[in-house]
Structure 1
Amino acid sequence: PHPPSATITDTTSGRTGKKSRRTVTLTAEDIQKKKNDVKARTTLLLSFPDEHQLRFSKGKRDTYRQRSKAEEQALKALMAIDGVG
């Protein structure tokens, strides 16, 4: 149905560090298998109880909050320099 797509990957060989190029052909079946694997992993993660889900997302949430505060402080500093705030 669909023509295979080619992906070129670089591999390092031996101690010399020379790269050899290798072509990997992906078929529609390979792509569908990858999609199914992703769906299976997502389903598995969604089956965890909520208290475990919170543990996984807490670090991302804390990082976002810290970044937002830093951006807000920088914006206030710029407004003070411009005489707007």
Structure 2
Amino acid sequence: MQYFINHAAIERAAAEVFSSERARYYLYGIIALAVAAVAGAALGAIWLGVALLVDAARKTLTPQLRQLSAAQAAAAALALDVATAASLA
């Protein structure tokens, strides 16, 4: 049976899922499927939408933190981290 397993393809797929720049989206998809299985498809879709919205807001606002003072930038970065962590909770 092991002759039919393409180890290179499995390694490429694992590298894509665990270490690519899209790894966060794979995690979001897995969590959304788990929420949908437990609470229903509607809540899974709502959670996925909120998580993607928070992620997009973080990516949009992070470059603008350079315009703030050091204390304000640290507080804003902390707020973005809290929002991202809360969306995964």
TM range (shorter): 0.3 to 0.5
Normalising by the residue count of structure 2, what TM-score does the alignment of the two structures yield? 0.33
Which structure: greater strand fraction? 1
Normalising by the residue count of structure 1, what TM-score does the alignment of the two structures yield? 0.34
Instruction: From the CA coordinates, give the structure whose radius of gyration is larger.
Output: 1
